Amino acid sequence: MISSIVHSSTGVSLLGAGAIKQADVDEALTIAPCLVAADGGGDRALAMGLTPKAVIGDLDSLSDAARASLGPRVHQVTEQDSTDFAKSLQRIEAPFILALGFTGMRLDHTLAAMTDLIRTPHRVVMLAEEEVIFRCPPSLSLDLAEGTRVSLFPFGEVKARSEGLHWPLDGIGFTPAERVGTSNRATGSVRIVMDGPALMMLPREEFAAALAGLGIG
């Protein structure tokens, strides 16, 4: 049994050590004001003039200066069977999580973060440099403008039905090894019914639409 380190009645903004835009962090904190960092994300937070409520990870990338500055806010998790992103997700209790800084550096780290998005029971929305990424729930409605790019990445066998997509998903079997759903596009408002594990990727400017579709905010 893993004990929670962070208990929040509001959403949590979780910072990693990858690519982060100040404007994205500022926007995230207006929606999810509890700030938590995963390992080296603690240095990113301090560099932005922010003090996280907690830093969680194996601490192989958090600087000595950040450790000294943050003191008891730092929580070391020594096991090596999970990423710092997963370690943090497992120890946060919150209505939802906005994740920033988990893409844009090493590709293996980015791919591992995508896997963590599929595995976690949390509602997590990840802000990447150009995309909004989240695990597609069994039923999803999105208010999108015509022509908006909609990409679906299966993490197993996936069946789906859709309304409002240029290429409907009905009757198609998606698997990571055989068929994925990149670069579809909306013809207007979109509704998807999903059976199986998959990530949805939308353009960054559809952040608000993604939050609304997931019932966040």
Binning the chain into helix, strand and coil, the percentages to the nearest 5 are 25, 35, 40
Q: Which one-letter amino acid corresponds to residue 97? A: I
Write out the CATH class of domain 135-213: mainly beta
pLDDT at 109: 85
Residue positions counted in the chain: 217
Confidence of residue 99 (pLDDT cuts 50, 70, 90): very high
Return the CATH number of 6-129, one of 3.40.920.10, 3.30.360.10, 3.40.190.10, 3.40.50.10240.
Answer: 3.40.50.10240
Confidence of residue 74 (pLDDT cuts 50, 70, 90): very high
Q: Which of 181, 187, 143, 142 is nearest to 159 (CA)?
A: 181
The proportion of the chain whose per-residue pLDDT surpasses 70, expressed as a percent, equals: 100
Please tell me the distance from the alpha carbon of residue 135 to that of residue 119, in angstroms, as a whole number. Answer: 9
Residue ranges covered by each domain of the chain: 6-129, 135-213
Q: Tens digits of per-residue pLDDT, 86-97?
A: 999 999 999 999
CB contact at 8 A, 69 and 47: no
pLDDT at 132: 97
pLDDT at 150: 97
Q: Tens digits of per-residue pLDDT, 165-213?
A: 999 999 899 999 889 989 999 999 999 999 999 999 999 999 999 999 9
Contacts of 112 (CB under 8 A, 6+ apart): 83, 85
pLDDT at 213: 96
Q: Which of 25, 26, 107, 17 is nearest to 63 (CA)?
A: 17
DSSP alpha helices (H): ranges in the chain?
22-31, 41-47, 64-70, 84-90, 107-119, 207-213
Coil, strand, or helix at residue 3? coil
Q: Tens digits of per-residue pLDDT, 125-166?
A: 999 999 999 999 999 999 999 999 999 999 999 999 999 999
